[in-house]
Amino acid sequence: MKAIKLMDVVKHVNAIDYTAIDRTISVTNVEFDARKIQPGGLFIPLVGGSTDGHSYIQQAIDNGATATLWSRDQSEAPSDQLAVVFVDDTLEAFQKLAHFYRNEINPVVIGITGSNGKTTAKDMTASTLKAKYNVHKTEGNYNNEIGLPYTLLHMPEDTQVCVVEMGMSGFGEIEQLSKIARPDIAVITLIGESHLEFLGSRAGIAQAKLEILKGLKENGIFIYPANEPLIETEMPEINYPIYMRSFGFDDQADVFAYDLAEEPDKTYFKTNIDDNVISMIPVIGAYNVSNALVALSIAEVLDVPSEQAIFQLAQFKLTANRLQWLKTHQGARLLNDAYNASPTSMNAVLTTLSNIELEGVDRKIAVLGDIRELGNMSEQLHRELSHSIDPTIIDKVYLFGSQMTYLYDELKGKFAAEDLVHIEADHAELIATLQADILATDVLLVKSSFGVDLLQVVTALTGQVTK
């Protein structure tokens, strides 16, 4: 990162007071984890849950911290060992510092949110833009009120484009993130059903996602899914001009895809950006083509030549645990998509499992866990998953979790008893049952919400450590 003068830190975090051994010092790295502090670093002691970062100050000092933020309600500030900047709230100060640093580096900022696909769209976008720009992006899913400022504060000085992911679980959260990042380009990948428990309806979800426009710069660009009426009906009032571009599979969209063709580990398609070129992404699923359209739309806006963008898109690396092909101990192929789930994404990947053609495969097996945070819609949405499970194509279904009882009820009678298994809560039982059943000629899909922890099942079946 670019060095930040201590006095700029004091100014931009609205410090109450500060003590400085040397007022001329600068900080060269910023961390909230004392273990990661390097010499010249600024330590951010965050408070949350059962952890208080202030208690780790000595470790930060031992690792070479030059300065620290410090909540004024904390006693015993280590003023004799490093510069201390006193603030009311260290998280709020962290966010203000990130906003300042974003403006110091002044890259083109792309903010991406959505019910599904935001991490993949972020990774694809960063890959395509590397054809022309120095790109910094959110790592993993650092997409909340801590992860987003952390991403901004870790931009190298030569960053030209910063691609940030914005996640949320309730109203007001995306607005806060957008106002910190001040995107030049705002993206919504999809309005789905995630977080229905907290947002009440798809209209509520649309309102929460559209908060991204409240931080969008004047004359900024909004990229959104075509054929989503909630974008128009729930659009907040914006008092300055923005430009809108849609994407999808309808030829009325500004950027659209057609002629899709899937192989086991890649998808081919054409777009209206360049009708003569076939694009390829190294991942399966039409929904991932939709994410690719986000990346290609942004590349077009930022004047990346289409052939370069398409080449870079084919090189992108998918974040772990998202449509990741693995091998089980028995030699079966396992499609690991167990990082997260919504009804939309689960239906989509079940369609992918149904359509996929793999040589030497005798059985298709779906291992599905609960979808969380659906509120009073949970029963209906779990039952409706049955529409994506054709017993003439998918040979066996394992269901895990209390909410999957509803899907089990819908599928009873459509499958032989031995081909429909429901396990309420015992991961060990699920693992043992699968290990006894899996054959080398099987292909398995594993999909659930993160909190259901089917990742431990994936690890047990494959020996691959998943995070």
Residue 37 tokens read as: 């502090």
Give the end of a domain, one of 62, 89, 116: 89
**Is 297 found in the same domain as 148?**
yes
Q: What 8-state DSSP symbol labels residue 81?
A: T
Amino acid at 356: I
Quote the pLDDT of residue 400. 98
Query: Does 169 map to a domain?
Result: yes
**Is 240 found in the same domain as 182?**
yes
| Beta-bridge partners for 260 | none
Model confidence pLDDT, tens digit, residues 276-294? 789 999 999 899 999 999 9
**Is 458 found in the same domain as 332?**
yes
Model confidence pLDDT, tens digit, residues 313-350? 999 988 776 788 999 999 999 999 998 899 999 999 99
**Is 146 found in the same domain as 82?**
no
Q: Can you tell me whether residue 219 is helix, strand or coil?
A: coil
116 has binding-site annotation: yes
CA distance 45 to 48: 10
CA distance 177 to 160: 20
For the domain that residue 261 is a member of, what is the CATH number? 3.40.1190.10
118 has binding-site annotation: yes
CA distance 295 to 306: 11
**Is 133 found in the same domain as 78?**
no
114 has binding-site annotation: yes
Model confidence pLDDT, tens digit, residues 328-337? 999 999 999 9
* Residues 403 and 384 sit within 8 Å (Cβ to Cβ): no
% of the chain residues with pLDDT over 90? 84
Residues in the chain: 467
459 has binding-site annotation: no
**Is 328 found in the same domain as 307?**
no
Query: Does 255 map to a domain?
Result: yes
Q: How far is CA 213 from CA 142, 362, 428, in A?
A: 20, 49, 45
Query: Does 331 map to a domain?
Result: yes
Task: Assign residue 110 a region (left: φ > 0; alpha: ψ between -120 and 50; beta: otherwise).
Answer: beta
Query: Does 97 map to a domain?
Result: no
**Is 328 found in the same domain as 306?**
no
Model confidence pLDDT, tens digit, residues 9-34? 999 999 999 998 788 899 999 999 99
**Is 451 found in the same domain as 398?**
yes
**Is 304 found in the same domain as 348?**
no
Tell me which residue range forms the domain holding 431.
324-462
Q: How many domains does the chain have?
A: 3
Q: Can you tell me whether residue 30 is helix, strand or coil?
A: strand
CA distance 296 to 145: 28
**Is 294 found in the same domain as 200?**
yes
pLDDT band at 61 (very low <50, low <70, confident <90, very high): very high
**Is 77 found in the same domain as 123?**
no
For the domain that residue 458 is a member of, what is the CATH number? 3.90.190.20
Under 8 Å CB-to-CB from 77, ≥6 apart: which residues? 19, 70, 84, 86
Residue 246 tokens read as: 């849609």
For the domain that residue 80 is a member of, what is the CATH number? 3.40.1390.10
More confident residue, 131 or 464: 131
Q: Can you tell me whether residue 258 is helix, strand or coil?
A: strand
63 has binding-site annotation: no
pTM of structure = 0.89
Query: Does 265 map to a domain?
Result: yes
Residue-by-residue DSSP string for 380-438: HHHHHGGGG--TTT--EEEEESSTHHHHHHHHBTTB-GGGEEEESS-HHHHHHHHHHH-
Quote the pLDDT of residue 466. 65
Nearest to 190 by CA among 248, 139, 242: 248
Q: What 8-state DSSP symbol labels residue 289?
A: H
**Is 228 found in the same domain as 172?**
yes
CA distance 56 to 80: 16
Give the end of a domain, one of 58, 89, 120: 89
* β 17-19/83-87 pair status: antiparallel
Number of Cα atoms under 13 Å in the Cβ half of residue 319: 22
Number of Cα atoms under 13 Å in the Cβ half of residue 144: 5
CB count within 10 Å of CB 84 equals 21
* Residues 178 and 214 sit within 8 Å (Cβ to Cβ): yes
Residue-by-residue DSSP string for 312-353: HHTT--PPTTSSEEEE-TTS-EEEEE-S---HHHHHHHHHHH
Give the end of a domain, one of 313, 342, 364: 313
Residue-by-residue DSSP string for 436-461: HH--TTEEEEEE--GGG-THHHHHHH
CB count within 10 Å of CB 60 equals 29
Q: Is the pLDDT of residue 251 over 70?
A: yes
Quote the pLDDT of residue 120. 93
Rounded mean pLDDT, 151-179? 97
Model confidence pLDDT, tens digit, residues 390-423? 999 999 999 999 999 999 999 999 999 999 999 9
Query: Does 434 map to a domain?
Result: yes
Q: Can you tell me whether residue 202 is helix, strand or coil?
A: helix
Query: Does 101 map to a domain?
Result: no
Query: Does 95 map to a domain?
Result: no
Nearest to 53 by CA among 67, 69, 76, 65: 69
Q: What 8-state DSSP symbol labels residue 53?
A: G
119 has binding-site annotation: yes
